[in-house]
Structure 1
Amino acid sequence: MEVTRQYQTVLVTGANGFYAAAIMDRLVKDGITIHGTVRSQRAVEALETKYGKQIKIFIVPDICAENAFHDAVKGVDAVFHVASPFIDTFSNARAEFLDPAMKGALSALEAAATEPKVKRVVMTSSCAAIVNPLHSSGFHRPGYTYTEADWNPLTYEEASERTDFDPVYTASKKLAEEAAWNFMKESKRHFDLVCINPCHTWGFYTQPVSSASQLNKTNAELARLIDGEEKDLPYCHMPWAVRIENVVDAHIQALYNPKANGRYIIANQPLDFQQIVDIMVKRFPEADWLENVPKGKPGTRQLTEFFSLDNSRSIRDLGLNYGPVEQCIVDFCTQYQVDRKKWASKTA
């Protein structure tokens, strides 16, 4: 699709994250100038070195703070709100997960409302905002097909009382996106909103990374397998996968395509950890790290019954061509097997 040249300068929140970095790479190739936000000065140098004059960095320590993005949004034509809290452990669901997700989304939209040039906001949501983590048949809800019309039913009050990860994390995604749509309904805005809802995402990483500990959560799962940190196959929370390139395509087309609207499930095919290690064995038979990887029960499925995700809107409206799902695993392993040796040599 031809680039819509009405977008010359774009704000990207969470600019040093997995999704944001890949999105910015595409924007830069299209000649777009980026206003990027990061939480601390430590992230600035790597981004300025990589993008040069095509990026202007704004340090936003707290995305929930009043007027957090108001300086960064000045002069931009569109906003990618990608930043969102993610923590493995928490003691207070409301303070550490739910409120930051909701307030961060509203902060980005409130900033967009102050800049007359903004035409569109593309928000990174998640399939977690769509699925029901507490369904009576279990999280994997066999036989059900989720569409964009579905919403995670957890309320703020219910999620606030939880201490287990899945309900709280998924609720944070639902509540943030819900807050964004409510903001759009409250008053007529001079911009529109499109939400991208990816499932489990793997593949090449382009954000600044100098150790496995700096990888994003999903890719870190694969790194743990390669590094021998998993004795058995990990539990499969999300039984669907997608390649990072597909997620980037969705964001970019959500910006460029004037007909894009509403929410979009971004999902390729089912993929569990048994299939993943089978791909590793098949595609990297000579890899020195393969002996570290637990093999499970080759040729079987870790999960045999689970929900479906309807990705037809993303294909029809955004023109996504997903390709073979195994490529996301091949991409990561190809990059990581080189990087892990490089990082090890620097610490030797």
Structure 2
Amino acid sequence: MHDLSFRHFVLLNLLRRLHGERTTNSMFHILTGKKSSQTIQDTKWYKLHSYFQAFPDWKGKHFHKDMSLLRECGLYKEEDGRALLTEKGKEQAEQFLIPVHGSSFFNGWKYADASIPFWRRLALFSQSLSHALYEHKTFLPVSHDLATQMWVKQFWPKTKASKIDMASSIHNELFHLLHELPEEDAHIFVSRLSGYELNGYTFQQIAEHIHAMDADEVFYRFQSVLHYLLDHRSRSPILSIFSEGLVKDVTLTSTAAKTYAHLKQGRTLQDIASVRQLKNSTIEDHVVEIASEDTDFPIHHYVPQEVQTEILRVAKQTGTYRLKIIKEQMTQPIDYFSIRLTLAWHGGHHEQNT
């Protein structure tokens, strides 16, 4: 048996969560954060928020190489194009469950995009403030992103006293929030910060200091801390400022957002397809995405209550989200759109029965 890395255990756990109902390509799209209708549905239906966009820069050839290793080790197999864990694979997955420890805060679907500019703002502001307090004006900034530099200038404190107050507030608020996390996770986050005569560590450097982790696990845990801070930003006046305008209440792809605007104007799906010059099926994809996010989406206008109830009952009885199986078990004729819409609405932010 080859030594398995953190990524291998992520793959095994993802296979476990998908119950042999999706392909390896579906897994790759989830882990890299592809914003396609199928990937979004899979993320919502199988509750894969702790996997979505976990490794945004993963190259396809490296992913398939890792999957090949798992197959050679007898940990997973493929049947009818779908990827299934073997019994041996299940045993391995249970030895290292994802998410791990404090990393249960990882929510790539909600925070992956916001965490990047949030970290850039916080890291550059903290570095600049540290140098300013030591009256050291020349240093290499941790971020060359123009939007980040402009943001820092906009909120930059003007006086020495205000700089001291800001530094104190950042320290105190971060200290209290990080104190609630596992010590290793807090250590990873702090190790990434730079300041006067202090350079932040790379993920590889941190991994070398924490011998039980590799760089990928350090990266995952670091992202999890960022997601935790964003999730608790309302408790911190400073973090509320640093995260301003970054976290959306409704997370939609740009094209679904356009369809959403038309829906709010009372247009039918056919009208929207005509206006946007898109296929009806594409608009349906957008509506499914909207239903999984919008708590006020009027699902009853599209799927009667009794049909919703039966779809949910069949999905629970069969233990699957495979649309064909659900359709075949229904006692009444139904289209795939109604099934997808029901599963999306009830599997999004709406766990309660309607």
TM-score scaled to structure 1, two decimals?
A: 0.27
TM-score scaled to structure 2, two decimals?
A: 0.27
Looking at secondary structure, tell me which structure has more helix per residue. Answer: 2
Looking at secondary structure, tell me which structure has more strand per residue. Answer: 1
